[in-house]
């Protein structure tokens, strides 16, 4: 039951009675009443003045009086400068709470077999380094967006494109070949992605040393880079790989397998997964074929050096390289091939790329190129563009080895959660196994929530210490609220208190209780809005508001000590459904909530 819909119908009926005219529902603007005014919903009367032919105050007064007299849903009203504030009758809130209680998946839309299929691409790691803090935001956003779309009744395919080819991959391969002495994850005890990442950093160190030595001989930086023997060897390795040289391909497969095993471990710890994984080594050829087809049809042009370009000046952009002079692919070529293969594989309604905002131009170009090539889906691609994430001490750089590895970050979060929980006495009286489970739940929940509560479009600073705080807008605060409610419900059960199927309708509800039911009912609207706007932070901040408002209520009103048993039962049912909504909201982010804490 949506009170807004019932109220809208009542307003339409009142207008028809007052002014003997039909009104379009789009003219009925209902908002949540501001906290400084009395009421639950506010009707904006300005769009109705042409119908009433009266001033805003008179119009509001007439509609308010008609609703109070003729609609059982409205108990009273007041008018502030043409805004009609409506107070909903207490029995309506009791009935609404009971209705929500009968729908375990309240707020979620069931997925029908013919629902539109959304493909969400996220993660997109390179096989030359482990996942880092930037990947953490990407993975958490991609996973959460996928779950929110499912909650909105969409079919979703979660996909990953692994950047497993290119010059950057050859750099780590070459460094291992030159200086690795046959090291493996087994012999070193290192995760494979960390081991290979070390060699990527080592290549950069050796390369910088080579450039410095050449500059010391009098060469400019540009001349030194052009003469770099190390970089030429990396390019030669890439050429051999593209020519399917067996030794190069064997080394590439071996090192990639080490990295994939490491990635899988990180993904499991993070709680993210994929339905389909694509590899650039398998998609770039399809992209080259499409580019060559476009060249043949005159869509693209070839320069004297043999490189292939697209002229995008008619679109207000520049010239875009699609194939290098040596015939090797660029990222754009690979993305063209990947998109084609995906739409061959699935009946995709909407393709969403979860990629940082530094790639805004890239996806603008990709959409145009796919459209030029005749793919109908070209114009409909969605770039879920998000801001960068930094640490309080600043930016990170992979080549210099100054990134924060995802594995290290998650381990640190779990340890910090354990230390903080112990200091606050939240692990007392439980087993070591339970303490470990709660520490993991709180640590990873703090990380996920802190990142997902920020509007995806904004840059953000991740502060590990700030994220693990049992007060404020944090995951642990929300988790603790859920545990607190479960404790209340357990105690009620121990005292033999059961909530009846039918609550008393004429309860003396406080404004706080009514506003909590109103907020609880908004979960459905927030989930829909988050899905429509691709903004998962709306749900995070809604859940925080719900937890915050509940805690204030808990401190101000007795629960089990309430002498009015009907009112006590209402509060227990309200608590139960708030806990369930917190759990559902956090589940969309892959965050577990503890039963006790």
Q: Are residues 472 and 580 in the same domain?
A: yes
Q: How far is CA 467 from the centre of its chain?
A: 17
Domain end residue (candidates: 390, 410, 431): 390
Non-local CB neighbours of 464 within 8 Å, separated by 6+ positions = 409, 412, 413, 416, 447
**Same domain, yes or no, for 19 and 141?**
no
For residue 382, being part of any structural domain is answered with: yes
Tokens 């009620």, residue?
492
The answer on 53 and 135 residing in a single domain is no
Residue 103 within a domain: no
Do strands 319-323 and 350-356 pair parallel, antiparallel, or not at all (unpaired)? unpaired
Token pair 């077999």: residue: 113
CB neighbours of residue 223 within 10 Å: 13
Residue 206 neighbours by CB under 8 Å, 6+ apart: 175, 179, 230
Q: Are residues 359 and 227 in the same domain?
A: yes
Q: Are 134 and 388 in contact (CB under 8 A)?
A: yes
Angle value at C-alpha 432, between 431 and 435, nearest 5 degrees: 90
Do residue 70 and residue 141 come from a single domain?
A: no
| 313 shares a domain with 168 | yes
- Structural domain span for residue 33: 3-88
524 Cβ neighbours under 8 A, 6+ residues apart = 2, 106, 107
**Domain CATH number, residue 154:** 3.40.50.620
Give the whole-angstrom CA distance, residue 23 versus residue 11.
10
Question: How many angstroms separate the Cα of 125 from the Cα of each of 163, 171, 191?
Answer: 6, 16, 16
Q: What is the pLDDT of residue 297?
A: 96
Is residue 35 situated within a structural domain?
Answer: yes
C-alpha 406/C-alpha 141 separation (Å) is: 15
- 176 part of a folded domain: yes
- Identify the residue whose tokens are 């404004």: 511
Contact 248, 170 (CB under 8 A): no
User: Do residues 322 and 330 make contact, with C-beta atoms less than 8 angstroms apart?
Assistant: yes
Confidence at residue 351, expressed as pLDDT on a 0 to 100 scale: 97
406 inside domain: no
- Which of 390, 411, 442 is at the close of a domain? 390
Rounded CA separation 167/132 (Å): 20
What is the per-residue pLDDT for 596?
A: 86
CB 533 within 8 A of CB 445: no
Q: What are phi and psi of 45, to 5 degrees?
A: -90, -15
Domain boundary residue, one of 88, 114, 138: 88
The pLDDT of residue 390: 84
Say if 407 falls within a structural domain: no
Task: Tell whether 142 and 67 lie within a shared domain.
Answer: no
From the list 265, 282, 276, the residue with the least C-alpha distance to 193 is: 265
Q: Is residue 420 part of a domain?
A: no
Q: Are residues 258 and 366 in the same domain?
A: yes
Are the CB atoms for 320 and 329 separated by under 8 Å? no
CATH number of the domain within which 75 lies: 3.30.1360.70
**Using an 8 Å Cβ cutoff, are 121 and 354 in contact?**
yes
- The answer on 355 and 285 residing in a single domain is yes
Edge-to-edge order in the sheet of strand 276-279: 276-279, 155-162, 117-121, 350-356, 382-386
The set of residues, in sequence order, having a beta carbon less than 8 Å from that of 421 and lying 6+ positions away, is 427, 435, 438, 439, 442, 597
> Within 10 A of 355 (CB to CB), how many other CB atoms are there?
21
Q: What is the CATH number of the domain that holds 540?
A: 1.10.730.10
Say how far apart CA 536 and CA 453 lie, in whole Å.
8
| Structure token pair of residue 251 | 């080394």
- Rg of the Cα trace of the chain? 30
pLDDT of residue 382: 97
- Structurally, the chain folds into a number of domains equal to 3
What DSSP letter does each residue of 352-369 carry, written as one string? EEEEEGGGHHHHHHHHHH
Sign of the CA dihedral running 161, 167, 172, 173: positive
pTM of the complete model beyond 0.85 = yes
Q: Do 57 and 170 fall within a single domain?
A: no
Q: Kindly state whether residue 143 falls inside one of the protein's structural domains.
A: yes
Same domain as 379, residue 519 = no
Alpha-carbon distance of 103 to 432, in angstroms, equals 36
Report DSSP letters for 239-263, one per residue.
HHHHTT-HHHHHHHHHHHHHHHHHH
Q: How would you write the pLDDT of the chain (597 residues) with one tens digit per residue?
A: 478 888 999 999 999 999 998 888 888 989 999 989 999 999 999 999 999 999 999 999 999 999 999 889 999 999 998 899 999 999 999 999 999 999 999 999 999 999 999 999 999 999 999 999 999 999 999 999 999 999 999 999 999 999 999 899 999 999 999 999 999 999 999 999 999 999 999 999 999 999 999 999 999 999 999 999 999 999 999 989 989 999 999 999 999 999 999 999 999 999 999 999 999 999 999 999 999 999 999 999 999 999 999 999 999 999 999 999 988 888 899 999 999 999 999 999 999 999 999 999 999 999 999 999 999 999 999 999 999 988 777 554 444 445 788 999 999 999 999 998 888 888 888 888 988 999 999 999 999 999 999 999 999 998 888 898 888 899 999 999 999 999 999 999 999 999 998 998 889 999 999 999 999 999 999 999 999 999 999 999 999 999 999 999 999 999 999 999 999 999 999 999 999 999 999 999 999 999 988
Query: Is the domain of 294 the same as that of 339?
Result: yes
How far is residue 228's CA from residue 568's CA, in Å, rounded to a whole number? 78
Nearest to 230 by CA among 207, 204, 253: 207
Strand spans (E) along 95-214: 117-121, 155-162
């Amino acid at each position: 039951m949506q009170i807004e819909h019932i109220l809208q119908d009542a307003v339409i009926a009142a207008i028809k009675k007052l002014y003997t005219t039909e009104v379009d529902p789009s003219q009925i603007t209902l908002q949540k009443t501001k906290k400084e005014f009395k009421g639950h919903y506010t009707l904006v009367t300005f769009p109705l003045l042409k119908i009433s032919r009266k001033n805003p105050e008179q119009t509001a007064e007439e509609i308010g009086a008609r609703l109070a007299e003729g609609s059982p849903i409205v108990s009273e009203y007041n008018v502030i400068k043409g805004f009609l504030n409506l107070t909903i009758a207490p029995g309506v809130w009791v009935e609404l709470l009971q209705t929500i209680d009968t729908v375990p998946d309240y707020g979620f839309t069931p997925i029908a077999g013919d629902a539109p299929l959304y493909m969400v691409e996220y993660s997109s790691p390179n096989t030359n380094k482990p996942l880092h803090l930037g990947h953490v935001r990407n993975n958490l956003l991609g996973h959460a967006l996928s779950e929110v779309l499912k909650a909105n009744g969409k079919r979703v395919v979660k996909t990953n494109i692994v950047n497993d080819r290119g010059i950057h991959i050859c750099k780590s391969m070459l460094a291992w070949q030159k200086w690795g002495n046959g090291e493996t994850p087994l012999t070193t005890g290192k995760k494979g992605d960390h081991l290979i990442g070390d060699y990527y950093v080592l290549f950069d160190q050796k390369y910088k040393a080579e450039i410095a030595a050449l500059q010391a001989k009098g060469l400019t930086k540009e001349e030194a880079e052009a003469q770099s023997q190390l970089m030429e060897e990396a390019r030669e390795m890439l050429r051999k790989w593209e020519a399917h040289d067996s030794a190069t391909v064997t080394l590439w497969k071996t090192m990639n397998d080490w990295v994939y095993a490491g990635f899988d471990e990180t993904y499991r710890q993070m709680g993210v997964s994929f339905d389909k994984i694509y590899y650039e080594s398998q998609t770039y050829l399809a992209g080259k074929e499409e580019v060559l087809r476009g060249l043949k049809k005159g869509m693209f042009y070839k320069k004297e050096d043999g490189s292939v370009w697209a002229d995008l000046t008619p679109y207000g952009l520049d010239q875009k390289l699609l194939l290098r002079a040596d015939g090797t692919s660029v990222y754009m070529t690979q993305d063209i091939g990947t998109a084609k293969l995906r739409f061959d594989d699935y009946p995709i309604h909407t393709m969403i790329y979860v990629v940082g905002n530094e790639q805004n131009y890239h996806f603008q170009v990709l959409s145009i190129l796919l459209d030029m090539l005749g793919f109908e889906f070209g114009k409909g691609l969605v770039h879920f563009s998000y801001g960068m994430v930094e640490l309080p001490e600043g930016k990170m750089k992979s080549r210099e080895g100054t990134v924060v590895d995802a594995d290290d970050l998650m381990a640190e979060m779990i340890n910090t959660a354990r230390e903080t929980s112990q200091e606050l006495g939240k692990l007392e009286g439980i087993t070591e196994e339970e303490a470990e489970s709660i520490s993991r739940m709180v640590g990873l929940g703090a990380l996920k929530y802190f990142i997902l509560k920020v509007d995806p479009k904004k840059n953000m600073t991740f502060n590990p210490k700030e994220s693990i705080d049992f007060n404020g807008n944090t995951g642990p605060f929300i988790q603790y609220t859920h545990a607190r409610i479960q404790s209340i419900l357990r105690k009620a059960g121990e005292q033999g208190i059961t909530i009846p199927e039918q609550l008393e309708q004429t309860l003396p509800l406080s404004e706080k209780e009514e506003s909590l039911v109103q907020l609880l009912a908004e979960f459905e609207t927030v989930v829909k809005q988050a899905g429509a706007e691709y903004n998962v932070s709306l749900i995070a901040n809604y859940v925080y508001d719900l937890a915050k408002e509940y805690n204030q209520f808990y401190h101000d009103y007795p629960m089990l000590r309430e002498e009015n048993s009907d009112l006590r039962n209402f509060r227990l049912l309200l608590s139960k459904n708030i806990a369930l909504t917190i759990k559902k909201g956090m589940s969309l982010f892959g965050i577990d909530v503890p039963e006790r804490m």
